[in-house]
Chains A and B, each alone.
Chain A
Amino acid sequence: MNSLIIAGLLLVLLGLAYQSGWSRSRGLVTTNGVKVHSRPQYHGAFVSIWALVPALLIVGVWAWFGPGLTRSFIVSQIPTDTVLALDQVGLNATIARIMQLASSYGVAGEVLPFEQTAGDALRTFNFISFLAVICAAAVAGIAALLYARSQINARLRARNIVERVINLALLACSAVAILTTVGIVASLVTEAYKFFTFIPPQDFFFGTVWNPNNAATGGNYGSYGLLPLLSGTVMITGIAMLVAVPIGLMAAIYLSQYADRRLRAVAKPMIEILAGIPTIVFGFFALVTVGPFLRDAGRLVGLSINATSALTAGVVMGIMIIPFVSSLSDDILNQVPRTLRDGAYGLGATKSETIRNVLLPAALPGIVGAFLLAVSRAVGETMIVVLAAGNAPVLRGNPFEPVATITVSIVNQLTGDTDFTGPQSLVGFALGLTLFVITLCLNVFALFIVRRFREQYE
């Protein structure tokens, strides 16, 4: 309610300031007939900025310090011996009761006399402080408005000032991306560092047993070996690439070199539908359809395949990254200069010979870059693996058995737990850091290759 009033008043101030700057600027033109440096809307914006900044500052300061001040005011209204007799919880309960009394909602049960007086006092205090903040903000805003208005003359470079402010705002926005990276790195590194105070890094990075003792009390935390998870990740990623690379690359080649325009217009978006489907849907599909299908197919040929296994997760993940591989490869193939292709045709090569012997070698670096990006996508994929890989963090090489990956273990160790005190949850950050570094290296390397490739043909 109060915040709505404040927002409304700020809007009114904004409108007033803009209008006053605008009209003054117009006045300059009509009375003097001189050339004014900036157009009226810039003067309006100039005055608005001046008026809004101090008002916002005051409101912001109150929003930051207000609750603390209110609380200490309430405590000062409660008789001292009562405060001393109450523990923290009791004090909070009393404060909550007084706040309810002040909001005239009332409280259940008998109202103590000191609560009534404190409640009344709080109501007055709230009202006065609210008024005071509004008045202070209004006075500051209007004073700034008047000052800015007095500054307006024909030679004021209002446009340049407003544009500088806009520029600053834009710069602040692009800093968000940097802050995100800083936030990711800082939170991963600090929490992972805490983890390594419990478990030495060599036990984490080279350990072959993953068995976190989730119910641990005391010193027995269990073992946190990365290798079983890493092997699971590598295995699933490998299977996914075995599925995605041939299909994706061949689809890209066919679409960019053979298909007529109509087929291309239909097939390309249809394949890209796969990229838009949420991964949880693929996970469900893997769990209830692909897994049982692979199990039955395996039984037919005498293989024992688990319904939830590295194979299931890998195949479905491969399907998921087909459009990723195909659209990136498509882009890359289209960037190879026409002259190379025409040269090959001129020598009498067939289309497939041109593609295999000229086009692909020329596009190879770019395509490798695309594959690396696809690998990085597969390594970080979570939901398919959570649902369909069976969650068995054991070091083994059989793709028909359940496995676990880094991402699965992050989810298992961290879900719903925000009490980051033991290695059981902190390990999530160490795993996250590992994952981040792996994908970062893959991405940087891949982007480097792709960029080099583009430059080569520009």
Chain B
Amino acid sequence: MTDMLSTTRQTAIERTKLVRAGLRRRHLNEAIFRGLGLAAIVLALGFVAILFVDIGRKGIPAFTQSNLHLTVNFDPAILDIEPAPVRADGQSDADFRAANLVWQRKVALLNWNKVIEASLRAAAPAGLEIDTRDLLTIAETDSRHVVRTLFVENPDLLGKTAEVDLLASANATNWIKGNIDRSLGDAQQQLSAPARALIDTLVDNGTISTGFAWSIFTNVDSRAAPASAGLLGAFVGTLYMMIIVIFLAVPIGVASAIYLEEFAPKSKLTDFIEVNINNLAAVPSIVFGLLGAAVFINYMHLPISAPIVGGLVLTLMTLPTIIIATRGALLGVSPALRQAALGMGASKTQMVFHHVLPVTFPSILTATILGVAHALGETAPLLLIGMKAFVAQVPATPFDQATALPVQIYLWQGNENRNFFEPRTAAAIMVLLAVMIMLNGAAIYLRSRLEKRA
């Protein structure tokens, strides 16, 4: 008996020893495992930080822009043009417009570059030897359009002078900001030596100044004049699409979620719809682009690269997200609320619309904002419905050609003038991210506010 007891005690002691001996190793393993977990978190957060810092570092310089402040002389010796047509009595709208167009065409044929050249030479130190082509590389190529538009709007300027703010060219901006290595030889520089010298002089005498690049927000895209390229057109295109998404995806999504969660009889069909929606949520976005190209454009002949088509495609893409989120919210409503409503004699429809739906409002709102934010950043399906086209106008209606913010980013990153467009692409990304952060922030704020009240 005692023998047996002592043997048991013996083995117990041995076992404890064994456990103790292994404990160091096990605790070490524990620490390593824990460290790995922490490392994974740090790594993931590090990626977030690197991404934001990198984009910010690249993009912030692009928000400043070199401006060229010139005194432009509308010299009649260069501008050989009759006064603008005046509307005669009894002339029809169309006839007056035609006459005006003829005059404008004549204005367009004048040599506006000469006007720019003269004003640049006036701003340069007296007696500077520089040839016309080199001189004109300093001002952005859209300068003549800016001056011409000014003249078309005020035809009395003929023979007078006006102070005009023009943009310095992309190459000049690169030179001023140091985006291009100043020590490179002439062959690798985009500007000639006299032009570079003149730019430095103009910066010194205040003709070229640096300011906030409002043109990014107020101009449309431009290929010929990179410095004047802006996001306005893309912004409006995106706005149209988001409006379409909100007005279509939210009512349809919420309605179908209500039907599936509250009314649908449990049948093979509703099971099928359910599986279907879960799959749609995981279908790659580019497939929705294929759907848009084949159905909306090729079959229904909606206009190509128009926000209406983009909006419809993004609506279909966002729908499953909104449906799933709304269903989750409906499912989370306490059964007590439902039973109380039914017990008071409400019909099922009344129960859903008067009692259940209002409670889920914060979740639906959040899901909607997040869904819209996701649609906002989507690029691939828009490329397939032709929104990659270069559009130099603000779209007036959702049926006009347009681009969207993410597509504009795609177009800019592919521009050949890398030195200039890389910062500008990063700036566009910052604008896009700012919009998305605002949307997400609004979602978080609204949810916390509304939930507190509920």
Q: Is B320 an interface residue (CB 8 A)?
A: yes
Interface string of A258-270 (1 = CB under 8 A from B): 1100000001001
Q: Which residues of A contact B379 (CB under 8 A)?
A: 278-280, 382-383
Interface string of A382-395 (1 = CB under 8 A from B): 11001100000000
A251-B37 contact, Cβ under 8 Å, with A381-B284, A420-B294: yes
How many Å lie between the Cα of A26 and that of B143 in the bound state?
Answer: 70
Q: Is A285 an interface residue (CB 8 A)?
A: yes
Count of inter-chain pairs, beta carbons less than 8 A: 281
Q: Which residues of B contact A281 (CB under 8 A)?
A: 51, 55, 377, 409, 429, 432-433
Question: Are the CB atoms of A250 and B39 closer together than 8 Å?
Answer: yes
Q: A350 touches which one: B30, B51, B410 (CB < 8 A)?
A: B30
Question: Are the CB atoms of B295 and A380 closer together than 8 Å?
Answer: no
Interface string of A136-178 (1 = CB under 8 A from B): 0000000000000000000000011001001101110111111
How many Å lie between the Cα of A107 and that of B98 in the bound state?
Answer: 9
Q: A387 touches which one: B48, B97, B413 (CB < 8 A)?
A: B413
Question: Are the CB atoms of B58 and A106 closer together than 8 Å?
Answer: no
How many Å lie between the Cα of A160 and that of B349 in the bound state?
Answer: 9
Question: Are the CB atoms of A278 and B291 closer together than 8 Å?
Answer: no
A177-B320 contact, Cβ under 8 Å, with A106-B93, A184-B291: yes
Q: B54 touches which one: A253, A289, A353 (CB < 8 A)?
A: A289
How many Å lie between the Cα of A208 and that of B240 in the bound state?
Answer: 43
Q: B384 touches which one: A183, A284, A411 (CB < 8 A)?
A: A411
How many Å lie between the Cα of A373 and that of B282 in the bound state?
Answer: 8
Question: Are the CB atoms of B290 and A188 closer together than 8 Å?
Answer: yes
Question: Are the CB atoms of B290 and A428 closer together than 8 Å?
Answer: yes
Question: Are the CB atoms of B30 and A435 closer together than 8 Å?
Answer: no
How many Å lie between the Cα of A176 and that of B250 in the bound state?
Answer: 13
B369 to chain A, nearest CB (A): 11
Question: Are the CB atoms of B95 and A108 closer together than 8 Å?
Answer: yes
Question: Are the CB atoms of A187 and B384 closer together than 8 Å?
Answer: no
Question: Are the CB atoms of A352 and B29 closer together than 8 Å?
Answer: yes
Question: Are the CB atoms of A407 and B286 closer together than 8 Å?
Answer: yes
Q: B294 touches which one: A191, A348, A407 (CB < 8 A)?
A: A191
Question: Are the CB atoms of B259 and A380 closer together than 8 Å?
Answer: no
How many Å lie between the Cα of A386 and that of B381 in the bound state?
Answer: 13
Stretch at the interface among B107-115, B131-139, B157-165, B271-279: B271-279
Q: A288 touches which one: B58, B370, B380 (CB < 8 A)?
A: B58
Q: Which residues of B contact A284 (CB under 8 A)?
A: 55, 409, 413, 425-426, 429
How many Å lie between the Cα of A249 and that of B384 in the bound state?
Answer: 35
A380-B94 contact, Cβ under 8 Å, with A177-B277, A178-B276, A255-B41: no
Q: Is B396 an interface residue (CB 8 A)?
A: no
Question: Are the CB atoms of B291 and A319 closer together than 8 Å?
Answer: no
A379-B284 contact, Cβ under 8 Å, with A274-B48, A415-B388: yes
Mark out the residues of chain A between 319 and 354 whose CB falls within 8 Å of any chain B CB in the assembled complex: 319, 322-323, 326, 348, 350-353
How many Å lie between the Cα of A247 and that of B285 in the bound state?
Answer: 25
How many Å lie between the Cα of A256 and that of B292 in the bound state?
Answer: 41
Q: Which residues of A contact B251 (CB under 8 A)?
A: 173
Q: Which residues of A contact B44 (CB under 8 A)?
A: 247-248, 251, 271, 274, 322-323, 326
A288-B256 contact, Cβ under 8 Å, with A181-B279, A418-B304: no
Q: Is A377 an interface residue (CB 8 A)?
A: yes
A174-B386 contact, Cβ under 8 Å, with A387-B413, A420-B298: no
Question: Are the CB atoms of A247 and B280 closer together than 8 Å?
Answer: no
Say what secondary structure dominates the interface of chain A.
Answer: helix
How many Å lie between the Cα of A352 and that of B26 in the bound state?
Answer: 9
Question: Are the CB atoms of B256 and A279 closer together than 8 Å?
Answer: no
Q: Is A105 an interface residue (CB 8 A)?
A: yes
Q: Is A196 an interface residue (CB 8 A)?
A: no
A4 to chain B, nearest CB (A): 14
Question: Are the CB atoms of A174 and B259 closer together than 8 Å?
Answer: yes
How many Å lie between the Cα of A291 and that of B92 in the bound state?
Answer: 62
Interface string of B367-399 (1 = CB under 8 A from A): 000100110111110011010110000000000
Q: Is B40 an interface residue (CB 8 A)?
A: yes
Question: Are the CB atoms of B319 and A171 closer together than 8 Å?
Answer: no
Question: Chain B residue with minimal CB distance to A318?
Answer: B47
Q: Is B422 an interface residue (CB 8 A)?
A: yes
Q: Is B337 an interface residue (CB 8 A)?
A: no
Most chain B Cβ neighbours within 10 Å, of A173, A355, A377, A420: A173
Q: B287 touches which one: A178, A278, A432 (CB < 8 A)?
A: A432
A285-B280 contact, Cβ under 8 Å, with A170-B258, A174-B255, A191-B294: no
Most chain A Cβ neighbours within 10 Å, of B287, B297, B349: B287
Question: Are the CB atoms of A380 and B285 closer together than 8 Å?
Answer: yes
Question: Are the CB atoms of B297 and A280 closer together than 8 Å?
Answer: no
Question: Are the CB atoms of B377 and A279 closer together than 8 Å?
Answer: yes
How many Å lie between the Cα of A160 and that of B44 in the bound state?
Answer: 55
Question: Chain B residue with minimal CB distance to A171?
Answer: B259
Question: Are the CB atoms of A183 and B409 closer together than 8 Å?
Answer: no
A444-B279 contact, Cβ under 8 Å, with A273-B48, A351-B30, A418-B298: yes
Q: Which residues of A contact B43 (CB under 8 A)?
A: 247
Q: Is B145 an interface residue (CB 8 A)?
A: no
Question: Are the CB atoms of B54 and A270 closer together than 8 Å?
Answer: no
Question: Chain A residue with minimal CB distance to B406?
Answer: A280
Q: Which residues of B contact A223 (CB under 8 A)?
A: none
Question: Chain A residue with minimal CB distance to B254?
Answer: A173
Q: Is A84 an interface residue (CB 8 A)?
A: no
Q: Is A416 an interface residue (CB 8 A)?
A: yes
Question: Are the CB atoms of B34 and A254 closer together than 8 Å?
Answer: yes
Question: Chain B residue with minimal CB distance to A247?
Answer: B40
Q: B37 touches which one: A250, A276, A428 (CB < 8 A)?
A: A250
Q: Is B36 an interface residue (CB 8 A)?
A: yes
A204 to chain B, nearest CB (A): 16
Q: Is A77 an interface residue (CB 8 A)?
A: no
Mark out the residues of chain B between 291 and 316 whose CB falls within 8 Å of any chain A CB in the assembled complex: 291, 293-295, 297-299, 304-305, 316
Q: Which residues of B contact A376 (CB under 8 A)?
A: 282, 284
Q: Is A25 an interface residue (CB 8 A)?
A: no
Interface string of B244-264 (1 = CB under 8 A from A): 000000011101101110011
B339 to chain A, nearest CB (A): 19
Q: Is B151 an interface residue (CB 8 A)?
A: no
B130 to chain A, nearest CB (A): 35
Interface string of B86-128 (1 = CB under 8 A from A): 0000001111011000000000000000000000000000000
Q: Is A414 an interface residue (CB 8 A)?
A: yes
Closest 4 CB pairs of A and B: A380-B284, A278-B377, A254-B37, A106-B92
**Can you pick out 28 interface pairs between chain A and chain B where the beta carbons lie within 8 Å of each other?**
A167-B259, A175-B256, A176-B319, A187-B299, A191-B294, A249-B40, A250-B39, A274-B51, A278-B378, A279-B377, A281-B409, A284-B409, A288-B413, A322-B44, A350-B29, A351-B33, A373-B282, A376-B284, A382-B380, A383-B380, A411-B380, A415-B388, A416-B304, A432-B286, A432-B287, A439-B283, A439-B287, A444-B279
4 new A-B contacts, CB < 8 A, other than A284-B413, A415-B383, are A163-B347, A176-B316, A254-B34, A276-B377
A interface list, Cβ under 8 A from B: 100, 105-109, 159-160, 163, 166-167, 169-171, 173-178, 180-181, 183-184, 187-188, 190-191, 246-251, 253-255, 257-259, 267, 270-271, 273-274, 276-285, 287-289, 319, 322-323, 326, 348, 350-353, 355-356, 373, 376-377, 379-383, 386-387, 407, 410-411, 414-416, 418, 420, 428-429, 432, 435-436, 439-440, 443-444, 447
